[in-house]
Structure 1
Amino acid sequence: MKTIVFAITEFGPGGAETQILRLGQSLVARGWKVHVLSLLEPVGFLEEANAAGIVVSSLKMTRGQPTLRDFQNALEFVRRVKPHALVGFLFHANLLVSLLRLFAGVPRVIISLRGEDYNPRRLMIQRTLLGLRLADVLVTNSKRLSKRLVESGVEGSRIHVVPNLPPPMKHLSSRNLSGAFRWIAVGNILPAKDYANLLHAAKLLESSETPWAIQIAGAFYDAAERRRVEDLIQVLGLEKGVEVLGARSDVEELMHASNGFVLSSREEGLPNALIEAMICGTPVVCTDVGGTGELVSDGLSGMLVSKENSEALATAMNHLMTLDQREREELAKRAYLKVTELCEPEKVIGTWEALIE
């Protein structure tokens, strides 16, 4: 039985972390021994990982204060576990797994970028890791991100685009929902999600002839951003139309109970929430960031608008609300066909296995 270790800054609810959990569950089912090494204390997913047979360990590092002892602990962990492959998710974990190869001689090291973090210094460091063969390949989850990495100087042959692994969710081809048009937005309350964009769009929607309601489901990891979102709801007078639900474990049910899904982000990789909405059959409106344009063709499988443009977002949302049910179902049907083709589970897992073998 081969062993793989996924390293992540902080294991818990989040896009990259969700992918590690789903990949780990699938790899365990295929006979792999899967470990997750969280640099900081994990903040979630422990029950799910344990149920799947995934072993979660932590270096218990202090945020922003790495020490030599932390690296020694990581080195001791790798020498004890003896993985065939080390996979880093996001910058700090990428740096760690690459340095571990230098000292522990791990056969296969993969680094992964999941979003639009184009900090020049970080890109230079990761480009150097590949150049020095401290990492074998770099995995990203969209063609747009891959193109930008090549433009930044990363060798194209070392980049592999692997879409996100979707969850098993029920597809509803039609739904009969009465009352106001229900919107659902899913994503942790973070600056990159740009909920201010959505709230300003909601304010513009007050002139719409169609009654609506918006629910936002996502964990509060950034206290300052939480205050900004809650304050803006009050300033714009949206208390009756917008509800912030916090972290939820029933996203599938929320999708099925909604007429439309909206994503207002300014930065993304390939959003899990967008994939989930398309699988569930919920018509989508989203900003053109990261890999969203690889899933959504404007007017064919959803509505795609420029980022940080509340007027465009409001116009697209209003357009979706004015479509009749048959037209929305046609959009959702084409979206479902697209997402199941791009993110076909066996193909995604097979690609990952080929990379880590």
Structure 2
Amino acid sequence: MCKKKHIDKKVGNVIAISRYLYQHYSKQNCNCILLPPIFSEVGNGRIIKSNTSNNGNVLRLVYAGSMSSKDYIDTLLKAIMRINKDEIRITFDIIGPEKAQVKKLIGIENLEKVGIYSHGKLPHDETVSIVEKADLSVLLRMDKRYAKAGVSTKFCEAMMLGVPSICTSVGGTDLFVNDGVNGFLVENNEIQTLEKTLLDILKLSREQITEIKNNAILTANELFTAEKYREQFNDFLSKCI
């Protein structure tokens, strides 16, 4: 912390990835620009079409990450188990953690029986192939500084693919989400909260889910392309001289 304060005093020009950092350095009268993750090809002109297959009523969730202390999926897993008690209404693909980790987390041996599929670590192209088939991604975090100061590239990449996210409302990456329009927000990561949110989403028609997915692509095109920030960035650079 002391090292950060020392560096902060010497900083004059800042590219801030999040609104939290932008506001922090703007208060210090820094020359500052808010620049989220930028991708060369966003959405790629894609349009998601409604799924009319026999399993179209099953909600497909995906998580790609390391299941570290900053990501919380244990309560989500338990909420899914409750909902899938009598029939599989939700499938959840988990990429990154080993199957043994997931089994230990929720205390069951047969994950597939409750709609949970743990793939372990996969190459990026295989990860993308699974993510783009999902209805929703998940980004569940605690209301702490790390969640406010950073922006999840996993969230941005998923949105580019037309996969909106269920996010905890903490004032970080979730600020890109308009609840029920291009994703979903939850107040906390408790089982009851997540279960209610999932049950509400399950009430939506396949057409409504498809609309939200396409809204996610529109948001990605608006927020994560270089063209949007070109003029601002040139202005930022001119003030750096």
Is TM (by shorter chain) over 0.5?
A: yes
For 2:29 and 2:70, locate their aligned partners in 1 and report how far apart those are by CA, in whole Å: 27
For 1:167 and 1:191, locate their aligned partners in 2 and report how far apart those are by CA, in whole Å: 31
Is 1:304 equivalent to 2:179 in the alignment? Answer: no
CA gap 1:206/1:173 in 2 versus in 1, 3 angstroms: same
Is 1:173 equivalent to 2:62 in the alignment? Answer: no
* Match for residue 203 of structure 1 among 71, 76, 81: 81
* Residue in structure 1 matched with residue 70 of structure 2 by the alignment: 192
* Residue in structure 2 matched with residue 155 of structure 1 by the alignment: 28
Is 1:244 equivalent to 2:118 in the alignment? Answer: yes
For 2:208 and 2:86, locate their aligned partners in 1 and report how far apart those are by CA, in whole Å: 19
Q: Is the 8 A contact 2:80 2:90 kept in 1?
A: no
* Residue in structure 2 matched with residue 340 of structure 1 by the alignment: 221
Q: Is the 8 A contact 2:103 2:109 kept in 1?
A: no
Name the amino acid aligned to 1:129: I
1:252-304 Cα offsets, whole Å, 9 max, x none, are 32122222222223353221122122221224322223533321111222111
Q: CA deviation at 1:217?
A: 1.3
* Match for residue 212 of structure 1 among 67, 90, 110: 90
Structure 1: runs of 5+ lacking an equivalent = 1-120, 221-225
* Residue in structure 2 matched with residue 316 of structure 1 by the alignment: 197
Name the amino acid aligned to 1:160: I
Which runs of structure 2 are paired with 1:1-357 in the superposition (5 Å)? 121=1, 124-131=2-9, 133=10, 135-147=11-23, 149=24, 155-166=28-39, 168=41, 170=44, 171-176=46-51, 177-179=53-55, 180-206=58-84, 211-218=89-96, 229-235=102-108, 238-240=111-113, 241-248=115-122, 249=124, 250-266=126-142, 268=147, 269-347=150-228, 355=237
CA gap 1:333/1:195 in 2 versus in 1, 3 angstroms: same
Q: CA deviation at 1:159?
A: 4.4
**Matched residue SS, 1:299:** coil
Q: Is the 8 A contact 2:61 2:91 kept in 1?
A: yes
Q: Computing the radius of gyration over CA atoms, which structure comes out larger, 1 or 2? A: 1
**Matched residue SS, 1:191:** coil
For normalisation by structure 2, the TM-score amounts to 0.76
Task: Provide the identity percentage.
Answer: 22
Q: Is the 8 A contact 1:186 1:217 kept in 2?
A: yes
**Matched residue SS, 2:92:** strand
For 2:140 and 2:86, locate their aligned partners in 1 and report how far apart those are by CA, in whole Å: 19
Name the amino acid aligned to 1:264: L
Q: CA deviation at 1:158?
A: 4.8
For 1:228 and 1:256, locate their aligned partners in 2 and report how far apart those are by CA, in whole Å: 24
CA RMSD of aligned residues (A): 3.2
For normalisation by structure 1, the TM-score amounts to 0.54
**Number of positions where the alignment pairs a residue of Structure 1 with one of Structure 2:** 225
| Higher relative contact order, structure no. (Cα contacts within 8 Å, ≥ 6 residues apart) | 2
For 1:144 and 1:306, locate their aligned partners in 2 and report how far apart those are by CA, in whole Å: 19
**Matched residue SS, 2:134:** coil
1:71-101 Cα offsets, whole Å, 9 max, x none, are xxxxxxxxxxxxxxxxxxxxxxxxxxxxxxx
* Residue in structure 2 matched with residue 82 of structure 1 by the alignment: none
CA gap 1:342/1:286 in 2 versus in 1, 3 angstroms: same
